[in-house]
Amino acid sequence: MGKRISLSRKHALGVEGATQKLSDLTSQFAAKYGLNVSIKGQTASVSGRGVNGTVKVTGEAIAVELELGFLLGPVAGKIEEGIKRQIETHFA
């Protein structure tokens, strides 16, 4: 079994601003890591080789829930830190 990554962060962007940042962030991840992203409203479904999950925004917060496959388990810490940095950059 793989590793689960659960992150959340509060922001003050409002729903419209957060939804735009969600689109920007997931598009960036899709291009950089070859992920498939589907956005419906304030939720992005993310999938790819060894990763599956969601990124959700509200007017007050962002929440990331990812399940990493077994092969990505050893680098889960690096992946989690990279996601944290991107959230800080986009949702500061």
Question: pLDDT tens digits, residue range 43-78?
Answer: 999 999 999 999 999 999 999 999 999 988 888 999
- Can you give the residue range of the structural domain that contains 22? 3-90
- Identify any residues that bridge with 8 across adjacent strands, giving them in sequence order: 63
Asked if residues 44 and 37 have their Cβ atoms less than 8 Å apart, the reply is yes
- Residue 1: pLDDT band by 50, 70, 90 thresholds? low
Asked which of 12-21, 26-35, 39-48 is least confident by mean pLDDT, the reply is 26-35
In the prediction, which pLDDT does 32 show? 84
- Residue 67's SS3 state is strand
* CATH number of the domain residue 78 falls in: 3.30.160.110
Backbone phi and psi for residue 42, each to the nearest 5 degrees, phi listed first? -105, 20
pTM for the predicted model, two decimal places: 0.89
The total of structural domains in the chain comes to 1
